[in-house]
Amino acid sequence: MTRPVPRLAPLLALILLVAGCDDPMVDQAKYEAYEKAELFPDGKTNQPPVPGTIARGQLDYFATLRQRPPLTRALVERGRERFDIFCVPCHGRTGDGDGMIVRRGFPSPPSYHTERLRNAPTEHFVQVVTNGYGVMYSYADRVPPADRWAIAAYIRALQLSQDFPVARLSDEARSRLEEAR
């Protein structure tokens, strides 16, 4: 009566083994982004490039940063989207400097609708995003050069929206304004 048990034992062991062990297909011998990497001394999968490396496309990066793109509707719309993501938390939707994070205690940024910032060259806004300004950190790691120009173009549009001479309004817009008054 003891015979069937030993015969089943290896099978049972195999089933338990398959069910219990880590599947080598699930965790393969490769590193995925953000996985801990035992191979490298600092344990990170994402290794920084060797100091002095010139990345492919880096010349384009600086060329785009230096060269102001032509002003198009698409550029301003892209700028609005990026501004809403990265700048609105502090600068607010209209650039008054009263965003949600400021209301929670972050130091107030200046309003974009001041004489000084209206007269600042467009490059200044690109500069601030690239290098940061005072307590505001740089956004260069998250906002690529083309988007910095787009944001700058949108800030110009915001400034215009708060400072537009009535005389230059279209007839239709002016009559709507009169009605609103």
Partner 1 sequence: MAQIFPPVADTCVKLAGIAVAVLVVGGLMVAGGAVRSDWLTRVGVAPDQPVPFSHKHHAGELGIDCRYCHDDVERSASAGFPPTKTCMTCHSQLWTNAEALAPVRSSFTTGEPLAWNRVHDLPDYVYFNHSIHVAHGVGCVECHGRIDRMNRVAKVHALYMSWCLDCHRDPAPHLRPPERVFDLDWQPPADARALGSELVARFGIEPANLDSCYVCHR
Question: Shortest distance, CB of residue 112 to partner 1, whole angstroms?
Answer: 19
DSSP per-residue letters across 131-142: H-BTTBPP-TTT
User: Interface mask (CB under 6 A) for ligand HEC, residues 110-149, using x and -?
Assistant: x--------------x--xx---xxxx--x---x------
b/e per residue 83-103 (b: at least 16 CB within 10 A): beebbeebbbeebbbebeebe
Cα dist. 172→163, 169, 177 in Å? 18, 8, 9
Q: Which of 26, 54, 166, 167 binds partner 1 (CB under 8 A)?
A: 26
101/173 with CB nearer partner 1:
101
9 contacts partner 1 (rule: CB under 8 A): no
Handedness of CA 27, 30, 31, 33 (dihedral sign): negative
89 contacts partner 1 (rule: CB under 8 A): yes
Q: How many residues bind ligand HEC (CB under 6 A)?
A: 21
104 contacts ligand HEC (rule: CB under 6 A): yes
Closest-by-Cβ residue to ligand HEC is 134
Give CA–CA dist 70/124, Å, rounded: 17
